[in-house]
Amino acid sequence: METIQYNIKERTSKVVLPESLGFGKIFTDHMFEMDYNEKNGWHNPSIRPVEDLWMHPATMFIHYGQAVFEGLKAFKQKSGDIVLFRADKHFERLNNSSRRVCIPEIDVDFAIEALKELINIDKNWIPTKHGDSLYIRPFIYGSDPFLGVKPAKEYKFIILLSPVGAYYPEGFKPVKILVTDEYVRAVRKGLGECKTPANYAASLLAGQEAVKRGFTQVLWLDGVEQKYIEEVGTMNIFINLKDEIVTPKLNGSILPGITRRSVIEILKEWKMNIVERDITINELVDTYEKGNLVSVFGTGTAAIISSVGWLTFKNKQMILNDGKPGELDVKLFNEITSIHYGLKKDKHNWIIPVEQKEIVNL
């Protein structure tokens, strides 16, 4: 692989972050960029100032959605160390997504090294408050101008960085969820297990209608029978029953979440009965009626754990744990965030340190 070219902005003032960062609104000074064409493969890696992208109106991904992306985080720990959480797994998933939509794969080790370089250059943008973090958005899109439906010949791989605030600035707050049987997010053998824009476009209307009815998000059922539970919003789902903790098994239409994977590993370490199996919405309702439903929570990089306090399916309204976060939900949230911020030993080797170097002009 070629060496990275640098075009570093000269900063004349210190980075001052607002008190409340929100999500995805603020971007750091620099981005990583790399090009692909058939002759040279992936080439031209560079770190340069963030600026608008120039593109021809016929750029292929705008028309046919041939793109993939990831979402992961870096944290500044109390010691001052900067760490990435399971970046290897995120770039491996990016490659899995790419394969499904005919995008050429990237070299995972090179991508991690490039990301570390970029973070080092923009390290003053990483918030230090507990709960805040640096959100990382790698993405690849078909970049040549052509209006025929076929895989693009040229691609761009970009990594953007965005300082983000804690998901629960006012404390862990359960969400209100509507089970939708009117819309589906994805189908087996389709794109569901792939992090590609089409899945998110498919989810917007259901989410918007749920919000209009006073809900936070929707719970997705399977795309064929609308019977089996799949995901909640843009999170994987865990259903904590009296004698087992169930998460739907990966079936091709569910995104294999990295947080899902971490939660399963932690629950196994805690010797809890975690089972990956199909579970229908009717089983969930039955269990609730029998008083055997302890809690339901979503898992994802943004929120880590999100408790479901209220769940509505057709005319059935369920209040879970009196609308309060479940004990296990909070315990898992604390466990994972403690690993992020270096408050607990990382027994699983999930943390990837970013070696810090002095950068001139920062």
Nearer to ligand PLP, 256 or 342 (CB): 256
The rounded distance, in Å, linking the Cα atoms of 83 and 119 is 10
Please tell me whether residue 259 binds ligand PLP under the rule CB under 6 A: yes
For residue 333, which of 300, 295, 292, 309 has the smallest C-alpha distance? 300
* Distance of closest approach, residue 300 Cβ to ligand PLP, in angstroms: 4
The rounded distance, in Å, linking the Cα atoms of 161 and 360 is 20
Q: Which of 83, 152, 255, 296 binds ligand PLP (CB under 6 A)?
A: 255
DSSP state of 224: T
Nearer to ligand PLP, 36 or 75 (CB): 75
Nearer to ligand PLP, 28 or 196 (CB): 196
Q: Which of 45, 71, 138, 223 binds ligand PLP (CB under 6 A)?
A: 71
Nearer to ligand PLP, 143 or 216 (CB): 216
* Distance of closest approach, residue 136 Cβ to ligand PLP, in angstroms: 11
Instruction: Answer whether 287's CB lies under 8 Å from 295's CB.
Output: no
For residue 123, which of 356, 339, 341, 340 has the smallest C-alpha distance? 356
Please tell me whether residue 308 binds ligand PLP under the rule CB under 6 A: no
Please tell me whether residue 309 binds ligand PLP under the rule CB under 6 A: no
Interface stretch with ligand PLP, choices 61-69, 134-142, 227-235, 321-329 (CB under 6 A):
227-235
- Dihedral (CA of 55, 57, 59, 62) sign: positive
Instruction: Answer whether 131's CB lies under 8 Å from 343's CB.
Output: no
* Distance of closest approach, residue 311 Cβ to ligand PLP, in angstroms: 18
Please tell me whether residue 337 binds ligand PLP under the rule CB under 6 A: no
Nearer to ligand PLP, 66 or 199 (CB): 199
Nearer to ligand PLP, 145 or 197 (CB): 197
Nearer to ligand PLP, 36 or 135 (CB): 135
State the binding string over 27-66 for ligand PLP (x if CB under 6 A, else -): ----------------------------------------
Interface stretch with ligand PLP, choices 10-18, 136-144, 242-250, 253-261 (CB under 6 A):
253-261
DSSP state of 66: -
Please tell me whether residue 134 binds ligand PLP under the rule CB under 6 A: no
Please tell me whether residue 164 binds ligand PLP under the rule CB under 6 A: no
Please tell me whether residue 253 binds ligand PLP under the rule CB under 6 A: no
For residue 89, which of 348, 357, 275 has the smallest C-alpha distance? 348
CA distances from 217 to 107, 260, 273, 340 (A): 35, 19, 28, 26
From the CA atom positions of the chain, what is the Rg in Å? Answer: 21
The rounded distance, in Å, linking the Cα atoms of 230 and 102 is 25
**10-25: buried (b, 16+ CB within 10 Å) or exposed (e) per residue?**
eeeeeeebeeebeeee
Q: Which residues bind ligand PLP (CB under 6 A)?
A: 71, 231, 234-236, 255, 257-260, 299-301
